[in-house]
A and B are shown apart, each in its own frame.
Chain A
Amino acid sequence: MSILAAEGLSKRYGELQVIDTVSLSLARGDALGIIGPNGAGKTTLFNLIAGTVKTDAGSIRFDGTDVTGMSARARCHRGIARSFQIPHPFTGMTTYENVLVGAAFGRGASERASEARAVEVLEIAGLKRKANTLAGDLTLLERKRLEMARALASDPSLLLLDEIAGGLTEPECVDLVATINGVRASGVSIIWIEHVVHALLAVVDRIAVIDFGRKIAEGEPRSVMASPQVAEIYMGIDGEAAHV
């Protein structure tokens, strides 16, 4: 059974059709990668799925329920959690408190009952040593980890990750992939927007390609990456990156 089934999503900002009848479906426990050039509409697609932005058309079913009209908060309570491409840390709170917000409000639990989950997530995300640091004082990489940790703390069944590997060094990237694979192994379905394709390939089962608001390809990662369409639109004409 699919955990997410989005049908014909569209979003227009003025004259700009940012998302144009995109459909996506994800089986429970699966991981889907989304690639596409900058400005293709990938983050807007996340906004539609998470409920941060309302879709103009189409429907979104999550875990058997139609969530199209639901607020981001209601979707969070049902199990959709997201990270933001540009980190939105609660800068006046410590790292621990940031994660505690996800654990307490995402799960609708008391603060006391959320403490252990928050600490556990800090450990998973490798932020334990920064627990008492103000989020405003974290480095960019730590902020990206915090984005993931906060989303994870809400115990989601679907985790939306938006470009969290960008700018990482190779060892950091390996670490991150291990973390995400660990999250996935615990049963969380994942959709991951990422430019760092080799990191993506180490996690996802399928890849969808978005360009000019449309889904132009989807399938098994290596065959999608090898398709001339992707090579042309996404990687440049010479198809160099198709050999990853």
Chain B
Amino acid sequence: MAVSFAIQRSTRLSRVTAIVALLLLAGLIAAPWWAGRANVRLLGEVYSFVALATLWNLMAGYAGLVSVGQQAYVGFGGYMLFALAMFLGIHPLAAIAIAGVAGAIIALPIAPLLFRLQGAYFAIGTWVLAEVFRLSFAQVSSLGGGSGTSLPAAIVVNIASDRGLREAAIYWTALTIAVASIAFVVLLLRSRMGLALTALRDSEVASESLGIDIWRTKLVVYTAVAGFTSMTGAFIFLQKLRISPDAAFSVNDWTAYVIFIAVIGGIGTIEGPIIGTILFFLLRETLADLGTTYLIVLGAVAILVMLRAPKGLWGYFVQRTGITLVPVRRRVVFPE
């Protein structure tokens, strides 16, 4: 019985969104010409958090891997950048890409160890891993040991001799990483593997009995996220120009804030981490001068969102309106 049908992957709204996103992207690419230096730098930081939150969300919101140790890869990426640039003389921008590959490679043997742990134990395990990384890098005296090191000026100049161009190049690198992270997550979720990921998010036992290789699916997600996170980490410390074990493997900066962003934005949505990052930076830029009050406000926002909109701000919006800007769904259309 052949039934005629067609599969629809996009909606009119999603096509409009894609066009708006492209226009926005064009505007952001041009930012070094229209935004001030401080703002360009700030945007770079925003992009790094968009990437980190998007990647964390893929693991926690889809693969059920709630990690509180992503700082392991942020720090690893940062240190890789310094090591590659200082010891091997590799161009810093190339070093960022290599740091990403290295992060994915080192995640491969780590993943099977962590996957032996379930739920909360997995979370603790990731944190322990990050501490192991921190203590290990603190032992490397050529990278400054426990007190860290700065990127030599000669290397920085090597990016581009002109200061404006250099800052623009670093900015574009951050934009590329953020866009690549989002594109990777969207394409993955729309693929066959995305089908498996969404399935195992909803029921692991049913996924397994329907033939999904849960272990392999999680492995792909974990290693890919590790790679992108390392790349983001390398960028972060290229912008900071200084690295130390405590800054590189900070659970506060690279995981707590990132979880805050994903949770208030909306876990398990593409849009959530972006919305969350924007809100986070709005709060930070307006309240950071208030010191501890700023942290109290962050905490209050988190509690309020969790009570009033447990699916995050974007999740709440979707629930109310049914609108998704980036659909990963498939619609079957039967001709009348």
Does chain A bind chain B?
Answer: yes
CB atoms of A120 and B3 under 8 A apart:
yes
Q: Could you give, for residues 97-112 of chain A, a 1 whenever the CB lies within 8 Å of some chain B CB and a 0 otherwise?
A: 1101110111110110
Which residues of B in the span 184-210 have a Cβ within 8 Å of any Cβ on A?
191-192, 195-196, 198-199, 201-203, 205-210
Task: Find A104's partner among B7, B192, B213 (CB 8 Å cutoff).
Answer: B192
Q: A88-B203, A90-B206, A111-B195 are in contact. Are A100 and B211 (CB under 8 A)?
A: no
B332 at the interface (CB under 8 A from A): yes
Q: Which of A51, A96, A101, A115 contacts B199 (CB 8 A)?
A: A101
Range of interface residues on chain B? 20 to 34
Q: Which residues of A contact B1 (CB under 8 A)?
A: 120, 123
* Contact (Cβ within 8 A) A96 B330: yes
Task: List, in ascending order, chain B residues with CB within 8 A of A67's CB.
Answer: none
Interface residue stretch chosen among A71-79, A187-195, A218-226 = A71-79
CB pair B210–A128 under 8 Å, yes or no, is: no
Cα A107 to Cα B1 in complex, Å, equals 20
Is B332 a contact of A132 with CB atoms below 8 Å? yes
Count the A residues whose beta carbon is within 8 Å of the partner chain — how many? 43
Interface presence of A236 (CB below 8 A): no
Say whether A73 contacts B198, CB under 8 Å: no
Rounded to whole angstroms, the CA-CA distance of A94 and B2 in the bound complex is: 21
A82 within 8 Å of B (CB atoms): yes
CA distance A123 to B4 in the complex (A): 11
Verify if B34 is at the interface (C-beta below 8 Å from A).
no
Looking at the complex, which one of A77, A82, A90 makes contact with B198 (CB distance below 8 Å)? A90
Q: Contact at A105–B196, with CB atoms within 8 Å?
A: yes
Cα A106 to Cα B210 in complex, Å, equals 5
> Is the pair B209, A50 in contact by a Cβ cutoff of 8 Å?
yes
Q: Are A123 and B3 in contact (CB under 8 A)?
A: yes
B3 and A111 within 8 A (CB): no
Residues of A within 8 A of B5 (CB): 115, 119
Q: How far is the CB of A10 from chain B (nearest CB, A)?
A: 21
Complex contacts, B207 vs chain A, CB 8 Å: 90, 101, 105
Distance from A145 Cβ to chain B, minimum over Cβ atoms (Å)? 15
Q: Is A24 an interface residue (CB 8 A)?
A: no
Residues of A within 8 A of B (CB): 50-52, 71-73, 76-77, 81-82, 84, 88-94, 96-98, 100-102, 104-108, 110-111, 115-116, 119-120, 122-123, 128, 131-132, 150-151, 154
Taking A76-B210, A119-B5 as known contacts, 20 extra A-B pairs with beta carbons closer than 8 A to each other, sorted by chain A number, are A51-B209, A52-B208, A76-B211, A88-B205, A89-B203, A90-B198, A90-B207, A92-B201, A94-B330, A96-B331, A101-B199, A102-B210, A105-B196, A105-B199, A110-B192, A111-B191, A116-B2, A120-B1, A123-B3, A128-B334
